[in-house]
Amino acid sequence: MSFPTVVSELELSSHILVQFKMEGAVTYESDMIKLTVDNYSYQKFMMEGHLICKDLVESIQNENLPTSKNANEWNVLNHKAVATIRKYTDQSLFEHVLTFDNAYKLWKHLESLIQMHATKLSS
């Protein structure tokens, strides 16, 4: 009976710890912090791990239909990956991911967007 209380306290503690470590506003969806320009270097690996666990990572590794999939399977996989990436992208970047329907192109666009931002900060 005490298990749910312990889980809630642990979840609350971990979220507070994450907010403290990130030193700023943090948006998260259940157990995953949303991707922002400021946390991209860390969250990129978390997002890739999430896509691997959901068997969706192939869609950010291949722009076109791989030989191991038929067109219908690839479309479903790609749409699930796009939806997942959008779900875990912060509102501050959402306008940049809204129009993409190809997970590979979306992922590459996010990478280039972050690189442009980093370049502006270093100049």
Q: For 62-106, how does the pLDDT look when each residue is reduced to its tens digit (9 = 90+)?
A: 999 988 899 999 999 999 999 999 998 888 888 888 899 999 999
Residue 16: pLDDT band with limits 50, 70, 90 = very low
For the residues 38-49, what does the mean pLDDT come to?
86
For the residues 3-27, what does the mean pLDDT come to?
40
- Please give the full DSSP string across 36-63, using - where no structure is assigned: -STTHHHHHHHHHHHHHHTT-THHHH-S
CB neighbours of 30 closer than 8 A, spacing ≥ 6? none
pTM (2 decimals)?
0.70
